[in-house]
Amino acid sequence: MEEGYFAEVFRTADTEAAYSQFLARYEPWSRHDVEDAPPRDAYALRTMLVHELRRIRLRVPDMPAELLPTGWIGDRAYDLAADLYRRLSPSAAQALSEILEVDYPGLMPSRFEP
């Protein structure tokens, strides 16, 4: 497949720009002790992180790694999001427990159990 065709069909320039903005916004957080964030702040940051990444992700179809450019910026964005999500989750869960007044995720309805 010709690179120009791929770039045109899958709008790689637009997608790369969106991932660059995502990284610029969230990479600074990776250098902070986000684990110590107040629960509601952790919940808000985690929610925005997921929302923004999904908004970018919905623009492009799943592409096999072989078709993506070498060093695809999306991989870096996913790695950053996974790291921050993992680090923010305990405090974010605490916020949900407080907001919902339940032991989240301890008291999840049985329909959500595997």
104 belongs to a structural domain:
yes
Q: What does the pLDDT read at residue 59? A: 79
Q: Comparing 27 with 61, which gets the higher pLDDT?
A: 27
34 belongs to a structural domain:
yes
Range of the domain at 55: 3-108
- Picking from 76, 72, 60, the residue whose alpha carbon sits closest to that of residue 26 is 76
How large is the average pLDDT for residues 13-40?
93
User: 63-94: per-residue pLDDT in tens?
Assistant: 777 777 778 888 999 999 999 999 999 999 88
Tell me how far apart the terminal alpha carbons of the chain are, to the nearest angstrom. Answer: 42
Say if pTM beats, i.e. exceeds, 0.85.
no
22 belongs to a structural domain:
yes
92 belongs to a structural domain:
yes
Contact 50, 99 (CB under 8 A): no
- Number of structural domains found in the chain: 1
* DSSP for 13-73, written as a single string: HHHHHHHHHHHHHHHHHHTS-GGGS-HHHHHHHHHHHHHHHHHHHTTS----GGGSPTT-H
Taken as a whole, the chain contains a residue count of 114
**Burial level of 104, CB count in 10 A (0-12/13-18/19+)?**
middle
